[in-house]
Chain A
């Protein structure tokens, strides 16, 4: 499970980094989304991976039987904030497309 998770994070981060370095705004936004998914998984992972472990305490159960609730709370916040800022970025991206007539990140096509 650790291997799959870390591979998943790695692949998404790699693709994300590659995409945000591309010249098209659409590629940039997809890259940022992929990166934020990778980061969300990463945050989730720092709490330690556990299967079928609840995060809510009940009496008489050893602490080691729980999963860490803090990263879950953090990841929830990060998802919400990431979602909102991506939506905002999308608006700017469309405005830029409308104003410049191109989807190049510099607002103009590179001269050939």
Chain B
């Protein structure tokens, strides 16, 4: 489970829930805000991720509320979810660090090559 890289929606949903328990629509809005509007999760994708994460024990139901006769179910990160998000974050950071190092090593070469 933690061996293979997470898909982006999964990572973003876990990140949204890492701050505080959120209901479905709040997750969509938080993900949109985090990514500057680049990722706007749709209901089908969001609930596919939520259902899988629940089955894997990475998130659980926090509480339910009814607002204007609509059901709001709040989800929160579990201990295992925290761990999975930490592992994935470390993996992404390690890759980003390598990419960054190689890019900065390239810069002098690029500068020196004839345009």
Answer yes or no: do A and B interact: no
Contacts from A to B (Cβ < 8 Å)? none
Contacts from B to A (Cβ < 8 Å)? none
